[in-house]
């Protein structure tokens, strides 16, 4: 479906939040920066130009759903164009015209009905906590600190490792915490990036209500996506909480001697900066400090690191969409780690974990490269507990 006439297309992008469209002066740095061009053609500048002059905007175009919102182009744009906002606006129009890909429509209706994107029920949402022996009564009690694991570790068995190691560390450090259980919903960060604004706002309001009912002051998150939306987006809807990513929280516990490292980890570890932890939120040092404090661990820096980190390809809702094998950005990252002879690819994001795990397996490298969240490594070197 195409939206025309020209002026109408531009106006609707601007109306739906794509004001940034006007400031682009077509230098093309965004196209040169976008990682998709390492695996396929993605002419970001040209698409922005198309929108600017109001040329036929194909709302059903597959390219409208390609951007992983990694932020690399935004960081380099000399005009400060909020390119992600343009994609968000285009997607919002596509959703209004019922032109989102079918698979995505299914994910979004699952989130609307059950509060999660993984085709599972809300009733199963606290199963992970019960499995880990967290007293389910805690879910009803008031708690200053809540651990909000993200839908991915809750419902995906592979990513469950992140919640398991996080809870193990919390117990070792004697931290008093609660969980929201079935009252928790998807944080909505990727939902918003997909242009589904009403759904995002409903999710955010439901979470804010659940947190406020339990007098929560502080939220511990495993996902940089949850972190991002809690810090930058929930306050505009009235939800103001102190938010800490696990890398910040556990570094603090180490520095306060509430958690003690008592084992070496004699491996070469390459740390991958998740886009929403690094580029979007400037949290680069905490994960590295944790890894650097572990005896015998050799910390390696991948070629594209910190501000220049290569995206895993999972943001912006991409984690819920199929990406062709030959177009997986995560394969490139795994390849970089392998070339450095890393034994472990360490990360701090559930989306990165799913993508890198898949790539390592698909590339047949499971015997030489492990993929681990930093909490998993920390759990191993802090003695008893879960050793994944
Ligand atoms: S880098 Fe910025 S100014 Fe240059 S083409 Fe892209 S959006 Fe436009
Ligand atoms: S945010 Fe990342 S994936 Fe999206 S257009 Fe920019 S560079 Fe490409």
Neighbours of 199 (CB within 10 A): 19
Q: Which residue has the tokens 């009803």?
A: 140
Query: Above 50 in pLDDT, residue 169?
Result: yes
CA of 226 to the centre of ligand 1 (A): 28
Ligand 1 neighbours (beta carbon < 6 A): 24-30, 45, 48, 77-79, 81, 83
Q: Which residue has its alpha carbon closest to ligand 1 atom 7?
A: 24
In this prediction, residue 284 has a pLDDT band, given cuts at 50, 70 and 90, of: very high
Locate the domains of the chain by residue range: 6-96, 102-252, 259-381
Is 102-252's fold the same as 259-381's?
yes
In this prediction, residue 5 has a pLDDT band, given cuts at 50, 70 and 90, of: very low
- For 259-381, CATH gives 3.40.50.10700
Distance CA 169, CA 163 (A): 10
What pLDDT, on the 0 to 100 scale, is given for residue 8? 61
What pLDDT, on the 0 to 100 scale, is given for residue 90? 86
Mean pLDDT of the chain: 91
Q: How far is CA 213 from the centre of its chain?
A: 26
Q: Which residue has its alpha carbon closest to ligand 1 atom 2?
A: 77
| pLDDT, tens only, 95-106 | 988 889 999 999
Query: Above 70 in pLDDT, residue 211?
Result: yes
Ligand whose nearest atom lies closest to the CA of 34: 2
The per-residue DSSP string of 303-338 comes to: SS-GGGPPP-S-TTTGGGS---GGG-HHHHHHHHHH
Q: Which residue has its alpha carbon closest to ligand 2 atom 5?
A: 67
Query: Above 70 in pLDDT, residue 54?
Result: no
Lowest-confidence range among 50-54, 108-112, 318-322, 343-347? 50-54
| pLDDT, tens only, 243-257 | 999 999 999 999 999
Q: Are 161 and 388 in contact (CB under 8 A)?
A: yes
Distance CA 222, CA 18 (A): 30
- Give the H/E segment covering residue 298: strand 298-301
Lowest-confidence range among 125-134, 144-153, 327-336, 346-355? 125-134
Pairing of strands 145-148, 344-347: unpaired
Q: Which residue has its alpha carbon closest to ligand 2 atom 6?
A: 73
Q: Which residue has its alpha carbon closest to ligand 2 atom 2?
A: 70
Q: Write 254-259 long-range contacts (CB < 8 A, 24+).
A: 254/290, 254/293, 258/173, 258/174, 258/175, 259/169, 259/172, 259/173, 259/378, 259/382
Query: Above 50 in pLDDT, residue 195?
Result: yes
**Best residue among 47, 194, 311 to mutate for probing ligand 2, ranked by most atoms within 8 Å of CB:** 311
What pLDDT, on the 0 to 100 scale, is given for residue 289? 98
What pLDDT, on the 0 to 100 scale, is given for residue 2? 57
Reported CATH class of domain 102-252: alpha beta
Distance CA 336, CA 383 (A): 31
What pLDDT, on the 0 to 100 scale, is given for residue 276? 98
Q: Which residue has its alpha carbon closest to ligand 1 atom 3?
A: 24
Give φ, ψ of 301 to 5 degrees: -105, 125
Ligand whose nearest atom lies closest to the CA of 37: 2
Neighbours of 124 (CB within 10 A): 15
In this prediction, residue 1 has a pLDDT band, given cuts at 50, 70 and 90, of: low
36 lines ligand 2 (CB under 6 A): yes
């Amino acid at each position: 479906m195409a939206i025309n006439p020209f002026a109408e297309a531009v106006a609707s992008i601007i109306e739906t939040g794509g004001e940034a469209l006007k400031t682009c002066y077509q230098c093309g740095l965004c196209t040169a920066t976008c990682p998709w061009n390492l695996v396929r053609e993605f002419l970001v500048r040209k698409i922005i130009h198309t929108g600017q002059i109001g040329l036929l905007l194909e709302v059903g175009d597959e390219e409208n759903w390609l951007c992983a919102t990694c932020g690399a182009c935004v960081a380099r744009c000399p005009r400060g164009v909020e390119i992600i906002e343009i994609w968000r606006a285009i997607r919002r129009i596509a959703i209004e015209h019922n032109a989102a890909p079918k698979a995505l429509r299914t994910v979004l209706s699952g989130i609307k009905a059950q509060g999660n994107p993984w085709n599972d029920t809300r009733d199963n949402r606290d199963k992970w906590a019960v499995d880990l022996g967290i007293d389910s009564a805690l879910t009803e009690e008031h708690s200053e600190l809540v651990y909000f694991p993200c839908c991915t570790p809750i419902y995906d068995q592979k990513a469950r490792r992140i919640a398991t190691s996080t809870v193990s560390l919390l117990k070792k450090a004697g931290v008093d915490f609660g969980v929201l259980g079935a009252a928790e919903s998807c944080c909505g960060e990727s939902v918003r990036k997909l242009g589904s604004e009403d759904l995002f706002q409903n999710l955010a309001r439901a979470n804010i209500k659940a947190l406020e009912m339990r007098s929560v002051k502080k939220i511990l998150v495993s996902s940089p996506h949850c972190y991002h939306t809690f810090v930058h987006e929930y306050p505009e809807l009235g939800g103001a909480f102190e938010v800490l990513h696990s890398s910040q929280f556990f570094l603090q516990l180490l520095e306060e001697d509430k958690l003690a490292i008592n084992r070496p980890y004699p491996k070469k570890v390459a740390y991958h900066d998740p886009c929403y932890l690094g580029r979007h939120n400037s949290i680069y040092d905490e994960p590295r400090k944790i890894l650097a404090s572990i005896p015998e661990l050799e910390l390696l820096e991948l070629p594209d690191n910190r501000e220049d980190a290569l995206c895993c390809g999972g943001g912006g809702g991409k984690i819920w969409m199929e990406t062709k094998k030959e177009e997986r950005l995560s394969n490139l990252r795994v390849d970089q780690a392998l070339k450095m002879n890393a034994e472990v690819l360490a990360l701090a994001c559930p989306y990165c974990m799913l993508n890198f795990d898949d790539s390592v397996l698909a590339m047949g490298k499971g015997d030489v490269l492990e993929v681990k969240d930093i909490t998993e490594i920390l759990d191993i070197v802090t003695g008893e507990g879960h050793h994944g």
